[in-house]
Amino acid sequence: MTYKRFVLTNKEIVKTISGKDTFKLGYETIKVVETPGHTRGGVCYHYKNFLFSGDTLFKGSIGRHDLPTSNKAQITRSVNMLVSKFRANTIVYPGHGHFTTILNEKLDNPYVKR
């Protein structure tokens, strides 16, 4: 399989996001949650009762923190912020693996402070 190189010709259309931002997807509003640690600038997305955690929070674990811009202390803080900020019944969809809930992570994740 060959891949075509991606070239961005109009850099003005690029928008950076932060933890205070929201954006529309159709008629729905998605909230951005800053979660640095796996990589610098890491974010999760919150929509209704769902959290899309990417590589920050996994079922029973956290994302890698051995990458050039990653930091174990930061990702641990990010995960603990998530479990304290969101309701217990929030469904978490990580970037890999099985879904979980905030309650499951409070009870079973060794990186969550009790």
pLDDT digits over 48-59, tens only? 999 999 999 999
- CA 36 to chain centroid, in Å, comes to 9
pLDDT band at 20 (very low <50, low <70, confident <90, very high): confident
Q: Please tell us whether the domain made up of 22-108 is placed in CATH 3.30.70.20.
A: no
- What is the Cα gyration radius of the chain? 16
Q: Can you tell me the distance from the alpha carbon of 106 to that of 104, in angstroms, rounded to the nearest whole number?
A: 5
pTM for the full model? 0.87
Q: What does the block give as tokens for 113?
A: 């402070």
Residue 1 has pLDDT above 80, yes or no: no
Q: Where are the domains of the chain?
A: 22-108
Residue 7 has pLDDT above 90, yes or no: no
* Percent of the chain topping pLDDT 90: 82
Could you read off the pLDDT of 56-72 as tens digits, one per residue?
999 999 999 999 999 99
Residue 79 has pLDDT above 90, yes or no: yes
* The 28-34 sheet, strands edge to edge: 22-25, 28-34, 43-47, 50-54, 91-94, 100-101
